[in-house]
Every structure is written in C-alpha cells, then in structure tokens.
C-alpha cells in the first residue's frame, strides 16, 4: 500500500514539473503532453544550425541563468520531498494541513517555469527568422511524434493497487 501511495504522490508531484526539472535540454521528460512551454527551445536550438557566434551567445545566456536554476532546483526538490514525506507518513493528514507545502511547491515550480521562459526568450533573440521557422517546424514534428506514440501506446497502465 505504501509503495502504491508513493507512486501516486510522485506522479502527482512531478506531473506538472515535466521538463522543468531539466530546462537546459536534459531530455524529454514530462507526461504525454511533453515539455512545458519554454523548456523545449533549448532542445530545438541544437538542430537549427547555430553559428559559432550564436553558440557562444546561447552559452552566455545559459551561464547567466545557471545560478538561479542551481538555487531553485534543490529548493523545489526539497519542497516536493517534504510534501511526499508528509503524505506517506503514518500521521493523520488533511488537505488543508498540506496547503502551505502545496503552495511552496507551486511557487517554486512557477519560478522555475518563469526562469525557463526568460531563457527561451533570450535565446530566441539570438536566432534568425529562418532558424526560428526551422525550430517551429521541428516543434510541430515532435508534437506529431508524441501524438503517434500516445495513439500506439495508449494511457500508461496503473500499478496494481495490491502492492
């Protein structure tokens, strides 16, 4: 039972963070909806043919935002772990008891998303109109692939509640 509850908690806590946990292009995360807005651009820019100058500009942008992410990610992880621990503890708990922890997780997720959007906007400023068009085409293709995968695989199965 505890394992089942932990899976539900983990799924609920991480479902909305998706790629936010790795906004620097650490891979496709997130549920069937894919990465959050602003989080896919770093993955796309790898394929749009950056010049050496553009590559350096993007590196400068990422380096400028890195300290903020290095601050936010551990805070978000700790807040999520505290919420999970409270949910799987043997102590009685009600939704209103968790409100402050839920708000903390939500606030941190919002900050991570905002920082990711700031990075994406700055990176967009480095790209030419042709590169932006190519990134848009790639984004459309990736969406079609996600939809195909969803049709092939269907919804992920729920773990047996008897665990």
pLDDT in tens, 90-140: 999 999 999 999 999 999 999 999 999 999 899 999 999 999 999 999 989
What confidence score (pLDDT) does residue 157 get? 74
Residues whose CB falls within 8 Å of the CB of residue 50, separated by 6 or more in sequence, listed in order: 58, 126, 131
pLDDT digits (tens, 9 = 90+) for 51-86: 999 999 999 999 999 999 999 999 999 999 999 999
What whole-number distance in Å separates Cα of residue 41 and Cα of residue 119?
A: 9
Q: What are phi and psi of 2, to 5 degrees?
A: -65, -40
> Given a cut of 60, is residue 10 above it in pLDDT?
no
Is pTM beyond 0.85 here? no
For the cut 60, the answer to whether the pLDDT of residue 37 exceeds it is: no
- List C-alpha distances in Å: 93 to 66, 97, 101: 37, 6, 12
């Amino acid at each position: 039972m505890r394992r089942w509850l932990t899976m539900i908690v983990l799924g609920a806590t991480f479902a909305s963070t998706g790629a936010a946990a790795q906004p620097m292009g650490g891979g496709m995360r997130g549920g069937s909806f894919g990465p959050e807005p602003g989080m896919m651009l770093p993955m796309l820019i790898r394929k749009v043919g950056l010049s050496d100058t553009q590559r350096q500009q993007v590196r400068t942008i990422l380096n400028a935002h890195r300290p903020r992410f290095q601050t936010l990610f551990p805070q978000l992880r700790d807040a999520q772990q505290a919420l999970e621990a409270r949910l799987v503890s043997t102590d009685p708990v009600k939704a209103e008891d968790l409100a402050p922890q839920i708000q903390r997780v939500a606030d941190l997720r919002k900050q991570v998303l905002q920082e990711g959007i700031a990075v994406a906007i700055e990176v967009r400023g480095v790209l030419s109109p042709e590169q932006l068009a190519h990134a848009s085409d790639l984004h459309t293709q990736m969406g079609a692939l996600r939809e195909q995968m969803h049709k092939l695989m269907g919804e992920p199965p729920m773990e047996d509640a008897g665990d």
